[in-house]
Structure 1
Amino acid sequence: MYSSFKFKHFHFFIIFIFILHVFAATPILSFNNFLESAKSPEVFDWMISIRRKIHENPELGYQEFETSELIRSELDKLGISYKHPVAVTGVIGFIGNGMSPFVALRADMDALAMQEMVEWEHKSKVPGKMHACGHDAHVTMLLGAAKILKEHEKEIQGTVVLVFQPAEEGGGGAKKIVDAGALENVTAIFGLHIAPELPIGEVASKSGPILAGSGRFEAKINGKGGHAAIPQKSIDPILAASNVIISLQHLVSREADPLDSQVVTIAMFQGGSAFNVIPDYVTIGGTFRAFSKQSFNQLRQRIEEVIVGQAAVQRCNATVNFFDESKPSYPPTVNNGDLHEHFVNVAVDMLGINKVDSVTQPSMGAEDFSFYQEVIPGYFFMLGMQNASNNRFDSLHSPYLTINEDGLPYGVPLHASLASSYLLKLHGPK
């Protein structure tokens, strides 16, 4: 009996030593400490300073030269290598062992052509330009994640790629990043967007379509101008444009599946400059959106057919421009199912199950993050930035938008944990 007891204890001792050896040989990333690090005064104050510098100096798409320089300066200080320029002003950073697997984190850099109406110490210094979509916060949080990941670089099982991207606001900067080959070896990509309506410390997303595909169009409808008192001698493009607009609304109400959400909106109508003169032409413009690529392409085709056809009925001719080169259409933003499961696990572990909305309602808004998802699995989520006042003007693309900077420390560890734990997962049991 004594021999048996001795043998069993020796056996357990060997197993214990083996476990210690495995854990000693396997780097363990302290994911739960990422949030604590991001909230530390040193990191938080550093991020506030960066965010406010960017906010004071907003730059439009493909003009983010100062923003790009600031990013590169901070990466230099952190000892992080990078490529520049990519897609004009973009910066691609690298943290880890420089080998596969590669996982990417993305932040957009551009501002909007909008006059800031919020009076505060760090208001935009550039007239007519403002960070009204939170991209200043996005860049700041990715730099914060870079700082924390760099401190754990030896533990990263692969390479984290930092994508600081230009021109999300209509310029399709993500497409240029893809076309430049910056993501050729990347296995997956994660991105976030601030949500002013969502409480601090909460996140929201879903598997599948989360944002719509978005396109814009402009149509010129040509008629024959003349005096308004003798319309029979003219070909009225205003009447033709009016019929076009009414017919375009039928594309959704009569042709689209009611369970397949789509939108066609005419938001611009320009024609004529006098009360008694029928103009030679009218220009109309708008946007169209859908959650599936098939529906989106069908909608685009029918928009052109209806505009040209209805103009012809009124004896006019029409041309349609979809701005494929200057303002490319954005595909639907569709979250990968496996990455959704990974996101939920990480977010719940960090924030708590009651802080994670994993079945949020999709939005008809659009994001060029979708260009990444067309070539590699990608995942996009919303991060709470709600102000205590819950002001109704605290909305994206509003000149009154204010960012609750207390939300910054939550985006940082989510970025860092999503990437580093994903790499560990790829190295795990198959």
Structure 2
Amino acid sequence: MSISLANDERTHTVSGSSELEKKLIAHRRELHQNPELSNQEFATTQRITDWLNAAGVRILDLGLKTGVVAEIGPQHGPVVALRGDIDALPIEEASGVPFSSQHPGVMHACGHDFHTSVILGAAYLLKAREDQLPGRVRLFFQPAEERFGGASQLIKAGALENVDAIFGLHNAPELPVGTFSTKGGAFYANVDRFSITITGKGAHAAHPEEGVDSIVTASHIVSALQTVVSRNVSAQEAAVVSVTRIEGGNTWNVLPQTVELEGTVRTHNDAVREQIPERIRQVISGVAAALGAKAELHWFGGPPAVVNTPRWADFSLEAAAEFGYKTEVATAQMGGEDFAFYLHHVPGAFVSIGSASAFGLHHPQFNPDESAIYPAAAYFQQLAEKALRELTGN
């Protein structure tokens, strides 16, 4: 199979690929028109099951409510896993494409339809070469990535049993088609969520001296929280504290009793991650006390950082360069990914594939370039085979 990528023209030529490319784009568009939220991907699961059954790919019965795990190859030798995710986001689509979401308020704004189509394509290509595989390739079509729960569901169900290495992808709208990047070590960030309840004393807006202003207190807290990183974390470490929601009051002439803040913390270093909650508590308690109010922190730990195995990250980059991608060593990302949970159990690598969207992830107008789908599928087919040969020493 001869594959070449033209990075600047956003086109590619693949010998003998045109029919499969059309099929994968059709899959992507059908998925895009019918998005489903995390743990509600019932129709998506059925579509994927039907497509794999039609291709003769065996599906593993793991008792999953949503999501699919399938396998290709002999029942001996090493096992390499490839993971795609299948859930959508609660976003009203504004892309204007003719295959826009038919479900109001739900959209594939992160490209999981793209990822699913890539792994389906890899499955089709691997199935055609099944008798030549020196081991098994296990295919994960994972639910609930956006809720950071799907990877744990698959692990609990036994999807990682006997897996020797795992690879996953995310499309990268900021990169041109034909570009590939990853890195060893910490790649995506730890993801934690917090909420803060600020309690003051309600009063008439004309007589603030009779109350304790929770809105003013909240405003001071938002500003003070920026010092958690700037004055407590080394400039050589990556950390972000963002307040993303403020809710308080319900009319124009009353000082509310309470205000709630919500936000997220992103880090790469576990030691930094551990120190931030206590520092937030100190800051909010001190600011609130100074203004006569009280503040309580509620902390919700999320997925850990995606820490790629250096061996497999380098292996992925080398395979991508051989394939014809323009490769880059990635910079660390502050976004989160529950692929991290797999890497706590088995070695592997998470990679970025350029998708050249004018609008970024989670944007209502997000629209990845579909010409990137087939090459990515062919790459993952080759990567899986190369990894199996690496594991068998051939």
**Both proteins in one fold, TM over 0.5:** yes
SS of match in other structure, 2:177: coil
* Residue aligning to 2:345: 375
**Residue type at the aligned position of 1:420:** E
Give unpaired runs (5+ residues) of structure 2.
5-11
2:69–2:159 contact (8 Å) kept in structure 1: yes
Matched, 1:260 2:225: no
* 1:310 Cα offset (Å): 3.3
* 1:197 Cα offset (Å): 2.2
**Residue type at the aligned position of 2:327:** V
Alignment match of 2:333 (pick from 354, 363, 376): 363
1:38–1:409 contact (8 Å) kept in structure 2: no
Q: Which moved more, 1:289-298 or 1:305-314?
A: 305-314
1:61–1:171 contact (8 Å) kept in structure 2: no
Matched, 1:74 2:74: no
1:110–1:166 contact (8 Å) kept in structure 2: yes
**Residue type at the aligned position of 1:321:** H
Matched, 1:333 2:306: yes
Q: For 1:256-276, what per-residue CA distance to the aligned partner results, in whole angstroms no more than 9, with x for missing partners?
A: 000001100111111112333
Distance, in Å, in 1 between the alignment partners of 2:15 and 2:206 is 71
Distance, in Å, in 2 between the alignment partners of 1:304 and 1:347 is 45
* Residue aligning to 2:150: 173
Q: 1:85 to 1:128 in 2, by over 3 A?
A: farther
SS of match in other structure, 1:219: strand
SS of match in other structure, 1:141: helix
SS of match in other structure, 2:334: coil
Matched, 1:384 2:317: no
**Residue type at the aligned position of 2:368:** I
Q: For 1:352-394, what per-residue CA distance to the aligned partner results, in whole angstroms no more than 9, with x for missing partners?
A: 5xx111x22222111111111122112111111226xxx3xx2
**Residue type at the aligned position of 2:391:** L
Distance, in Å, in 2 between the alignment partners of 1:173 and 1:93 is 16
Q: Which moved more, 1:293-302 or 1:244-253?
A: 293-302
Distance, in Å, in 1 between the alignment partners of 2:78 and 2:56 is 21
Q: Which has the larger radius of gyration?
A: 1
Distance, in Å, in 2 between the alignment partners of 1:213 and 1:86 is 29
* 1:301 Cα offset (Å): 3.3
**Residue type at the aligned position of 1:404:** D
RMSD: 2.1
* Aligned counterparts, 1:333-352, within 5 A: 333-351=306-324
Q: Which moved more, 1:87-96 or 1:277-286?
A: 87-96
Alignment match of 2:66 (pick from 71, 89, 114): 89
* 1:170 Cα offset (Å): 2.8
* 1:122 Cα offset (Å): 0.8
SS of match in other structure, 1:418: helix
Distance, in Å, in 2 between the alignment partners of 1:220 and 1:117 is 34
Q: For 1:87-134, what per-residue CA distance to the aligned partner results, in whole angstroms no more than 9, with x for missing partners?
A: 531211111112341111000101111111122321110111111111
2:244–2:263 contact (8 Å) kept in structure 1: yes
Matched, 1:412 2:382: no
Q: 1:102 to 1:258 in 2, by over 3 A?
A: same
1:189–1:376 contact (8 Å) kept in structure 2: yes
* 1:73 Cα offset (Å): 0.4
* 1:86 Cα offset (Å): 5.2
* 1:214 Cα offset (Å): 1.4
Distance, in Å, in 1 between the alignment partners of 2:373 and 2:166 is 20
Q: Which moved more, 1:102-111 or 1:394-403?
A: 394-403
Alignment match of 1:113 (pick from 90, 103, 120): 90
Q: 1:368 to 1:276 in 2, by over 3 A?
A: same
* 1:36 Cα offset (Å): 7.6
1:95–1:150 contact (8 Å) kept in structure 2: yes
SS of match in other structure, 1:92: strand
**Residue type at the aligned position of 1:141:** V
Distance, in Å, in 1 between the alignment partners of 2:63 and 2:288 is 43
Q: Which has the higher strand share?
A: 2
Q: TM-score, normalised by structure 1?
A: 0.85
Matched, 1:217 2:187: no
* Aligned counterparts, 1:93-172, within 5 A: 93-172=70-149
* Residue aligning to 1:319: 296
* Aligned counterparts, 1:276-295, within 5 A: 276-295=253-272
Alignment match of 1:402 (pick from 367, 377, 382): 367
Q: For 1:321-370, what per-residue CA distance to the aligned partner results, in whole angstroms no more than 9, with x for missing partners?
A: 3345xxxx121112111002211221111115xx111x222221111111
Q: Which moved more, 1:208-217 or 1:261-270?
A: 208-217
Q: Percent identity?
A: 39
* Aligned counterparts, 1:221-260, within 5 A: 221-260=198-237
* Aligned counterparts, 1:265-276, within 5 A: 265-276=242-253
* 1:84 Cα offset (Å): 4.7
SS of match in other structure, 2:383: helix
Matched, 1:306 2:283: yes
Q: Which has the higher helix share?
A: 1
Q: Which moved more, 1:58-67 or 1:83-92?
A: 83-92
